[in-house]
Amino acid sequence: LTQFLTLVEFSYNNSYHASIKATPFEALYARKCHSPVCWNEVREFHLTGPEIVQETTEKIVQIKQRIQAARDRQKSYADLKCKPMEFQVGDKVMLKVSPWKGVVRFGK
């Protein structure tokens, strides 16, 4: 089971996410992930000190903007489907009343 979870995690981290317009790996490391299957050339790229801090800060700002854009896009779609409801005094309405409140524990 653990070997499959590792593969699922790898797949998720290397799948394109529309909200950030990149894969989580690319967003975090600012480069594409090279799996053992595509390791045909080895390049070394090092960032030092303030450069890596600045690049990371820029990436974080960019990701936040993309997430906000995705959130706005999803909200506008939800708003199209939402119908305003108006009630008058005396209208009968259905209320959801849950018998469970707070934390429910069974046994002692």
Q: Alpha-carbon distance 62 to 56, whole Å?
A: 10
pLDDT higher than threshold 70 for residue 80: yes
Are the C-beta atoms of residues 23 and 33 closer than 8 Å to each other?
Answer: yes
In percent, the amount of the chain with pLDDT more than 70 equals 71
At 46, which amino acid appears?
A: H
Q: Alpha-carbon distance 105 to 63, whole Å?
A: 41
Biggest CA pair distance of the chain: 74
Lookup: tokens for 3: 């070997």
- Reported as a single tens digit per residue, the pLDDT across 31-65 is 887 665 444 444 555 555 677 677 778 888 888 89
Q: Alpha-carbon distance 94 to 13, whole Å?
A: 43
- Reported as a single tens digit per residue, the pLDDT across 89-104 is 999 988 877 777 666 6
Residue with more model confidence, 100 or 19: 19
Tell if the pTM clears 0.75, that is, is over it: no
